[in-house]
Amino acid sequence: MTEAAAGGREERTRAVPTAPLPRLEPVTLAGHGIRLEPLSAAHVPGLQGVVADGEIHRLPFAPHVPAPEAVEGSVRGLLADVEAGTRLAWAVVRAADEQVVGLTTFMNLALADRGLEIGNTYLAGSVHRTGVNTAMKHLLLTHAFDELEMLRLEFRVHHLNVASRRAVEALGAQQDGILRSHRILPDGSVRHTVVYSILAPEWPGIRAMLEQRIGRRREG
């Protein structure tokens, strides 16, 4: 048997844990100038300011971003999911001034297969391209891969949301495919969903890249 064939066989037969992960519990994640706090009703006023900052609730292809008057109901729904054990949700807080600047979640939890989706994320317009998104993703990916020992993290993006697709690709995520005519959106348009993923063996290289990016921004 050739070395390449042996390596391929080993890859196919390598054992992974078969016991489902236990229920995921909310935890605070901190570093790189931000803090991810488990979402609570106390974050509603801050998140109302977030969606008004740059009017990000009006951005195309982002129906998950609520209008200011809908934030309370949106948070209530997210907290119900957290209580049911189907999601984790965080408010993103800037450490320098304790300002709420965004929201993010772990969703579509597949605990038996050690996978989840990072989604329903939004950030205030004023912190776009300031390094907050990179810092947030570093914290989330570290928690998922290093602490929860996930095998796969997924991102799903509207096919026309070019900015979000480029941001996900810049993380090093690989495109798995496109779910065609996947969703009917509130305005009646049809969304094709682009699916990306990062696998556990890819994480060390992506972690090093993100840490270099964070370090360069800190030095600058």
Q: What is the model's pTM?
A: 0.91
> How confident is the model at residue 16, as a pLDDT?
83
Report the DSSP pairing between strands 190-199 and 152-158.
Answer: antiparallel
**Nearest one of 129, 153, 139 to 201, comparing CA atoms:** 153
What are the domain boundaries of the chain? 25-219
The answer to whether residues 93 and 50 touch, using CB atoms and an 8 Å cutoff, is: no
pLDDT at residue 186, as a whole number: 87
Residue type, 49: G
Residue 220, pLDDT score: 63
Locate 142 and state its tokens: 């570290």
The pLDDT assigned to 12 comes to 57
Q: Spell out the SS3 assignment of 98-159.
A: CEEEEEEEEEEEEHHHCEEEEEEEEECHHHCCCCHHHHHHHHHHHHHHHHCCCCEEEEEEEC
Those residues with Cβ within 8 angstroms of residue 190's Cβ, 6 or more apart along the chain or in another chain = 181, 183, 184
User: Per residue in 38-48, pLDDT tens?
Assistant: 999 999 999 99
Q: Which helix (H) or strand (E) holds 210?
A: helix 203-219
Question: 3-class DSSP state for residue 218?
Answer: helix
Q: Which pLDDT does position 148 carry in this prediction?
A: 96
Q: What is the pLDDT of residue 218?
A: 78
Instruction: Look at residues 152, 140, 144, 107 and name the one whose alpha carbon lies nearest to residue 16.
Output: 152
What is the per-residue pLDDT across 166-191, written as a single tens digit (0 to 9) for each? 999 999 999 999 999 999 988 899 99
Whether the Cβ atoms of residue 39 and residue 23 lie closer than 8 Å to each other: no
Is-contact 213 197, C-beta < 8 A?
Answer: no
**Under a CB-based contact definition with an 8 Å cutoff, are residues 105 and 119 in contact?**
yes
Question: Around Cβ 71, how many Cβ atoms within 10 Å?
Answer: 23
> What is the rounded distance in angstroms from the CA atom of residue 32 to the CA atom of residue 20?
32
Q: What does pLDDT average to in each consecutive run of 10 residues of the chain (220 residues)?
A: 50 73 96 98 98 94 94 98 98 98 98 97 96 97 97 97 94 97 92 97 97 86
Classified as helix, coil or strand, 64 is coil
What is the CATH architecture assignment of 25-219? 3-Layer(aba) Sandwich (3.40)
Longest dimension (CA), the chain: 65
